[in-house]
Amino acid sequence: MLEVNLTVTFAYLCFFVCEIYAGASGILALVTLGLYMNYKGNTRVSVESHHMLHHVWMFIQFVAETGVFVLAGVIMAARIEAFITWSDFLKNMALYVILHIIRFFGIIILSPFMNMMDYAVDFKSIVFASYAGMRGAVALCLALLLTEN
């Protein structure tokens, strides 16, 4: 249990020290800490704590992503509540379908090159990759940043 608490504590300390006192990017510091923990930390965490450590960090990830989605929904609802019409909604749905089709054909065009590099791509993988696209909290934050600028 101590190892789990230490990883969470050091992650927060790393972020806040870099962000507030060092004037550096806290996110990049966390990425560096994560890479270091992956390189050296796996061998230093006991076998008993490894399973609990994984579940605690998965829960923290779930809570953080849920918070980002809720916050983004509240921000977007406050910005567009009076401006969106049914016509805009239908245009967005058409754009969503068109972007999936464009992504599908882009992957189809590039699949021979992927196959030449020993990265076997079958039709099921192409369909999955074209549907998967860029989703998640990072894409949502990038979209919110675009609306700010």
The answer to whether 15 and 26 have CB atoms below 8 angstroms apart is yes
Q: Contact at 8 Å (CB) between 52 and 1?
A: yes
Average pLDDT, the chain: 79
Cβ neighbours of residue 42 closer than 8 Å, sequence gap 6 or more: 50
Q: Residue 136 contacts by C-beta under 8 Å, 6 or more apart in sequence?
A: 65
Report pTM. 0.53
pLDDT, position 140:
67
Domain boundaries, the chain: 84-149
pLDDT in tens, 32-85: 888 887 777 666 777 777 778 778 888 888 888 888 877 777 777 777 766 777
- Cβ neighbours of residue 17 closer than 8 Å, sequence gap 6 or more: 29
Cβ contact 102:129 at 8 Å? no
Residue 91 has pLDDT above 80, yes or no: yes
What pLDDT sits at residue 82? 65
